[in-house]
């Protein structure tokens, strides 16, 4: 009797063990298929030499063929800046003259807004632009402003024509400053004819405005 019970118990355990092993064999490929996502995940790495805002940033390589959204949202140019335009290479204004300055805001969606500290707000001190990243640290900006003739009182007639400002800039590796070039093309009232004395070109310098920024030197006139 004891031998029969022992034999029966062994058979039960063997049967149970077989079921467990069979179940494990079925579960293994399902588990691997659900949890092993390495084939679908892109690798990222931290680099000590790329520091923005005092901390590490994730390296994401720029590729010209990428969709627009990923490139915009990770671009370190985004933020508020204090800028200066310095004339260079013109008949007039003379080299070294500051032709504009103020604050410019680069948005993550590829738009930009500049508020000039030189232009009179009553005749147009706010300008708008669009930008794209062209390389790891380089950007292009197409910026447009419209001046206004306050002496003309007729409706929709005071505009003196748009001014297009093209910028090519290079961001510093720490993302706290940038330099570059600009060209201003002021058009006549028809929006097509280049106004006399233009284009005006020169160099750009800009410093990032942060939560800790507490001083800023702004021009009081075009001669500063």
CATH number (domain holding residue 201): 2.40.128.120
Confidence (pLDDT) at 58? 36
Q: Is residue 43 part of a domain?
A: no
Paired with 179 in beta bridges are 170, 205
Q: How far apart are CA 211 and CA 213, in angstroms?
A: 6
- pLDDT class of 201 with cuts at 50, 70, 90: very high
Lowest mean pLDDT: which of 78-92, 112-126, 132-146, 204-218?
112-126
pTM over 0.85: no
Asked if the structure places residue 60 within a domain, the reply is: no
Q: Is the pLDDT at 119 greater than 90, yes or no?
A: no
89 assigned to some structural domain: yes
Full domain range(s) for residue 103: 69-209
Among 5-19, 78-92, 94-108, 147-161, the minimum mean pLDDT is found in 5-19
| Closest C-alpha among 143, 130, 144, 142 to residue 72 | 130
Task: Give the ranges where the chain is alpha helix by DSSP (H).
Answer: 2-35, 68-73
Residue with tokens 């507490």: 214
Q: Please provide the average confidence, as pLDDT, over all residues in the chain.
A: 75
Q: Name the percent of the chain lying above pLDDT 90.
A: 50
Does residue 130 have a pLDDT over 50?
A: yes
| Number of compact structural domains in the chain | 1
Q: Is residue 171 a part of any domain in this protein?
A: yes
Residues 168/138, Cβ–Cβ less than 8 Å: yes
In a domain, 19, yes or no: no
- Torsion angles phi and psi, residue 70, rounded to 5: -60, -40
The one-character DSSP state at 194 is B
Domain membership flag for residue 149: yes
Decide if 96 is inside a domain.
yes
Task: Note whether residue 25 is domain-resident.
Answer: no
């Amino acid at each position: 009797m004891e031998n029969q019970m022992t034999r029966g118990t062994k058979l039960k355990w063997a049967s149970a063990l077989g079921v467990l092993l069979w179940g494990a064999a079925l579960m293994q490929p399902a588990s691997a298929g659900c949890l092993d996502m390495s084939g679908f995940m892109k690798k990222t790495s931290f680099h000590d030499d790329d520091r923005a805002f005092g901390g590490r940033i994730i390296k994401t390589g720029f590729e010209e063929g990428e969709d627009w959204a990923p490139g915009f949202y990770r671009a370190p140019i985004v933020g508020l800046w204090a800028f200066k335009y310095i004339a260079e290479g013109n008949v007039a204004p003379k080299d070294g003259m500051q032709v504009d300055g103020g604050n410019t805001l680069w948005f993550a969606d590829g738009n930009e807004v500049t508020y000039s500290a030189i232009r009179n707000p009553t005749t147009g001190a706010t300008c708008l632009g669009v930008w794209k990243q062209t390389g790891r640290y380089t950007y292009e900006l197409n910026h447009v402003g419209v001046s206004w003739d306050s002496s003309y009182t007729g409706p929709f007639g005071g505009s003196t024509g748009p001014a297009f400002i093209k910028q090519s800039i290079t961001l510093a590796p720490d993302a706290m400053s940038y330099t570059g070039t600009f060209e201003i093309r002021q058009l006549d009232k028809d929006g097509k004819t280049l106004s006399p004395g233009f284009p005006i070109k020169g160099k750009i310098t800009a410093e990032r405005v942060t939560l800790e920024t507490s001083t800023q030197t702004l021009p009081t006139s075009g001669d500063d």
